[in-house]
Amino acid sequence: MPQYANIAVSILFDGLAYAMFLFITSVGLSVTMGLMNFVNLAHGAFAMVGGYIVVSLTRSYGVGFIPSLIIAAVLVALISVRFERRLYRRFYRATDLEQVLLTIGLAFMAIATFTYFYGPIPKSVPLPDWLQGSVNLGFRSFPAYRVFMIAVGAALIAVLWYGFERTNIGAMIRAAVDNRRMAESIGINVDRLFTLTFALGSGLAALGGGLAIQLLGLNPNFALLYLVLFLIVVAVGGLGSLKGTLLAALVLGIIDTAGKYLLADAGGFFIYAVTVIVLLIKPAGFYGRE
């Protein structure tokens, strides 16, 4: 295979794996922001907590990697429900600024707590054999872990698409995102719906955090470091849009990877440049409502 084609395939492949991480982690944020207009800067902290639960389970309790991911997602979903019920709910009608301050305060506290208990050094997880090494896909071989991430991402996209577009609850969520008052007036309990999607979104974030350990490394600063990326995906995709979040994750994931491959010095410049251009042309994002 010629050199440039090889690089192009690598970029597409790594970009796809990265995009899956972005999608899994951001999709919950997008739906909750679309539903309640709540700016949740602690979303990255939920992903970080999920990552550390996976680390603890696999390293201290010898639980397998895959079961740990599932347990982490469920635990974080449970914890997030309590946060939503006790704290967030008071701030739905608050201003943007108050929401930003409250949730960034939570993120700081989470980072400090986890630095205290786990230390600032990045953690890694022991992977099962079949996730190490590489997989040959006919024309060339790829790292097994990235193949796995893309598979998980694709499966989740299918499940979420079905849930969103084909089930009753999905229809209710779409209705509430479109017009909250109207949805309430025809008897949809938007508050409960929100708690449900909040739990789902935080659980997915935790899953994304667990999956990211191998890909990006995990230290307590994860909560803020990648938060900016999640927010960008949400803003570029459009609040509350599954399709938009997926498209934004793909575009940004692949562009960021390409930038890092081809122009290592430029670092994250391209992802922000694309964000600015998209938002200037479509301030509500790809599929957002103006």
Partner 1 sequence: MAVSDKSAALATAGARERAAHYLVSRHRFRPAEALPWLLAIAAFFLFPDRMTFGNQALIMVMFALSLDLILGYAGIVSLGHAAFFGVGAYTVGLLIARLGWSEPLSSLVAAAAMAGLTGFVTGWFILRYRGLTVIMLTLATAIMLQEAGNLRSDISGGYDGLPGLVISPLFGVFDYDLYGHVNYLYVLGVLAVIFYIVRRIVYSPFGQALTGIRENVRRMNAIGSPVHRRLVTVYTISAAIAGIAGALFTQTNAYVTLTVFDFDNSAKVMVMLILGGTGRLYGAFIGAVVYMVLEDHLSKLSPTFWQFGIGLLLILAVLFAPRGLLGLAEDVVRRDRPRREARARRLVFKREDWNALTVSALDGAMIGFIAGFAVNFGQTDLMSEYITSLPGRVLVFAGFGAVIAASINVVYLALTRRVAAEDRVP
* Tokens encoding 240: 């509350």
Dist. CA 203–CA 208, nearest whole Å: 9
8, 70, 108, 215: which one contacts partner 1 (CB under 8 A)? 108
| Residue closer to partner 1, measured from CB, 20 or 231 | 231
Instruction: State residue 89 phi and psi, 5-degree precision.
Output: -55, -30
| Residue closer to partner 1, measured from CB, 91 or 161 | 91
Per the CB < 8 A criterion, the answer to whether 10 and 241 are in contact is no
Nearest alpha-carbon partner for 215 in 247, 172, 169, 256: 256
Question: Which residues does residue 123 pair with via DSSP β-bridges, in sequence order?
Answer: 218
| Residue closer to partner 1, measured from CB, 214 or 219 | 219
- Contacting partner 1 within 19-78 (CB under 8 A): 33, 37, 39, 52-53, 55-56, 59-61, 75, 78
Calculate the alpha carbon distances from 137 to 8, 83, 106, 147, 211 in Å: 16, 44, 44, 10, 22
The CB-of-262 to partner 1 minimum distance in angstroms stands at 13
Site string for partner 1, 213-252 (x = CB under 8 A): -----------x---x--xx--x---x-------------
* Alpha-carbon torsion angle 142, 146, 148, 154, nearest 10: -110
Radius of gyration of the chain, Cα coordinates, nearest whole angstrom: 19
82, 140, 151, 165: which one contacts partner 1 (CB under 8 A)? 82
SS3 at position 134: strand
Question: Total binding residues for partner 1 by CB under 8 A?
Answer: 61
The residues that touch partner 1, with contacts defined as CB under 8 A, are: 33, 37, 39, 52-53, 55-56, 59-61, 75, 78-79, 82, 86, 89-91, 94, 96-98, 100-102, 104-113, 115-119, 189, 191, 224, 228, 231-232, 235, 239, 265-269, 272-273, 275-276, 279-280, 283-284
